[in-house]
Amino acid sequence: MSGIDGKVVAITGASSGIGEATALLLAEGGAKIVLGARRADRLEALAARITAAGGTAAWIGTDVRRREDLTALVALARQEYGRLDVLVNNAGVGPISLMDELRVEDWEQMIDVNVKGVLYGIAAALPVFREQESGQIVTVVSTAGLQIRPTMAVYAATKNAVRTLSEGLRQEAGPTLRVTAVSPGYVGTEFANSINSPDVRAQITAASAELAIPPEAIARAIAFAIEQPANVDVGDIVVRPTAQA
């Protein structure tokens, strides 16, 4: 991963799942990692694990619903390592349910985290990338937006919103900014833990147990996009279980 060595990469939602796997893989490849998530104890433990393996990591408690937290994450990267090369917008929630359940608070949470959280990340990183005349924004989207299914309406809508944002930003980016969207299918993460509908949680838990691929599969896709030469922009990657319909 010569294209990763030495790069400064900030990752949201880094305390578990795809974010954690991505941090470990990129650190192994020589990247300097800046970890952001709400669970500070997990971030501290992950940073210690990376350091013990010979890598480099810093961390800061980050709630992507707060714009100032994303600003602080980017500022930490510059303070510790002098720059930011990649922002991985990974934090996301999926308290999915049937629309008839009217779980409006869950809808609002998905909009706040999955859409506004990504926008806050872009707002924090974009001026830095323009100043440096280089940078990359990687956003973790979902195959839920590619094939809409019952219970997924609001979740898929948020993911398709950021898919649109990524494409719009890519077209505005010019020759020095790369923009990548990565769409995972079923992945073995804590996704089901955020689901408040008991029946839907049971369905997703069962489907994940049967189909899910490890978070490392998505981490490798993210690494692939990052390690490309500066003049190569990998716009969209879909990674799903072979058995997923």
Can 155 be counted among the known catalytic residues?
A: yes
Distance (Å, whole) CA 2 – CA 49: 22
The token pair at 94 is: 């999926």
Which residue out of 81, 120, 155, 186 is catalytically annotated?
155
Residue 223 CA, distance from chain mean position: 12
The token pair at 206 is: 């069962």
- Greatest Cα pair distance, the chain, in angstroms, is 51
Residue 101: Cβ-neighbour burial (10 angstroms; 0-12, 13-18, 19+): middle
Closest CA relative to residue 169, chosen from 123, 231, 232, 238: 123
Distance (Å, whole) CA 91 – CA 132: 25
What's the start-to-end Cα distance of the chain, in Å?
32
The catalytic residues are 155
